[in-house]
Amino acid sequence: MGPAALRRLAPQAAKASPSTLMGMRAFHQSAVKNSFFTSRTTITNATKKSTTHSSTPASSLLARLAGASRSYYQQTQQTVSQASPLRKLLVGGAIFGGTLMAVNLVFNRETREDGGMPLYEREYLNNTFLHTGLGIGIIAITARAMIQSGFVFRIMTANPWAVGIGGLALSFGTMIGTRSIDPDNYLPKYALWTAFNATQAAFIAPLMAFAPGALLARAGLYTVAMMGSISIVGATAKQEKYLYLGGPLLAGCAIVLASGLAPLIIPATAVRTLAFTENMWLWGGLAVFGGFTLYDVQKVLHHARLAERGVIKRDPVNESISLELDFLNIFIRMVQILMMQQNRRK
């Protein structure tokens, strides 16, 4: 019945007798008290609230089904949340094992012929990796402290050129100072090494401030898997097999650096060129610094042999600087790649 029909019936309803109206009211009350409408109302309330019990078997069955489905959903959520860390651990192990097998098949067909790694090489390599882990830990803790204290915000609001040039100067200055100090002078050497790690933390802190914690954990896991597998290959390969890579890797590093500075020169309208330079920065950088990891591990073993003969002094702090830079460059690219994939899914 449309609005026009209602408007036409309104005068007739106003002229109706009181007896007619009383009869309509009595019929309405009897209809509400009817058991048919009462049962439908009870079933509807039981379906919506899942807590009201009706006298009919159908309503109780619906309530039991609703409760069972809700409890099953909650148990499923708990099971998924409990299995999530185990799944990440299995994925990380699979990535590490697969990367190790692939790199071994490609690069490590010829192993050492001198009966394996001598004890002095193993101790020097383990000491170098220990300092590398300590340095990465210092960088992570310092970067987190910079984020929580607001230092990162002050860096980002300051002049970018002054911050960039000043940060590079401090980074190179502390690195050169650490390398130049004799390893027997523990206090100044470790002090400058800590300052070098603090400068690296200032570089990666802005990236860590905007990336989710789960994504950073995944990037760290992938970086450890990649560097660990390549380090095993470098440690078990023939002596000085990959030391020739120093020159080509330096050239590749220059190309990657140029591709990273390309957006400062190339106009924003050259979309394809910028996309190519971005891929060169990300994927080319992964390849270059993965090669640097292989080169640096073999260089550590070479220096261990020289130190055993008394040509140079054992200096795991200097050796760890190169591996820390490899880790940071790979980690930064892993974070950027994972963030790009996350944005594409949205």
4-41 pLDDT tens trace: 444 444 444 444 444 443 444 444 444 434 443 344 44
Are 159 and 165 a contacting pair, CB within 8 Å? no
Number of domains in the chain: 1
Over the stretch 126-175, which tens digit does the pLDDT of each residue have? 999 999 999 999 999 999 999 999 888 888 787 777 777 888 899 999 99
What is d(CA 143, CA 293) in angstroms, rounded to the nearest whole number? Answer: 23
Nearest alpha-carbon partner for 133 in 326, 324, 289? 324
Over the stretch 77-89, which tens digit does the pLDDT of each residue have? 444 444 466 666 6
Q: Output the CA–CA distances (angstroms, integers) from residue 343 to 123, 336, 339, 340, in the order listed.
A: 44, 11, 6, 5
Task: Tell me, yes or no, whether 63 lies in a domain.
Answer: no
Task: Tell me, yes or no, whether 212 lies in a domain.
Answer: yes
Task: Tell me, yes or no, whether 263 lies in a domain.
Answer: yes
- DSSP summary character for residue 267: -
Q: Mean pLDDT, to the nearest integer, of 68-81?
A: 47
Nearest alpha-carbon partner for 134 in 326, 324, 293? 324
Task: Tell me, yes or no, whether 195 lies in a domain.
Answer: yes
Task: Tell me, yes or no, whether 318 lies in a domain.
Answer: yes
Are 250 and 275 a contacting pair, CB within 8 Å? no
Over the stretch 318-327, which tens digit does the pLDDT of each residue have? 999 999 999 9
Report the predicted TM-score, pTM, of the whole model to 2 decimal places: 0.68
Task: Tell me, yes or no, whether 91 lies in a domain.
Answer: no
Rg for the chain, CA atoms, rounded:
35
What is d(CA 55, CA 132) in angstroms, rounded to the nearest whole number? Answer: 72
3-state secondary structure of 111: strand
Owner of token pair 């190179």: 172
- Between residues 329 and 167, which one has the greater pLDDT? 329
Task: Tell me, yes or no, whether 139 lies in a domain.
Answer: yes
Nearest alpha-carbon partner for 117 in 238, 10, 277? 238
Is residue 115 left, alpha or beta, with left meaning phi > 0 and alpha meaning psi from -120 to 50?
left
Are 122 and 254 a contacting pair, CB within 8 Å? no
Domain that holds residue 234: 113-345
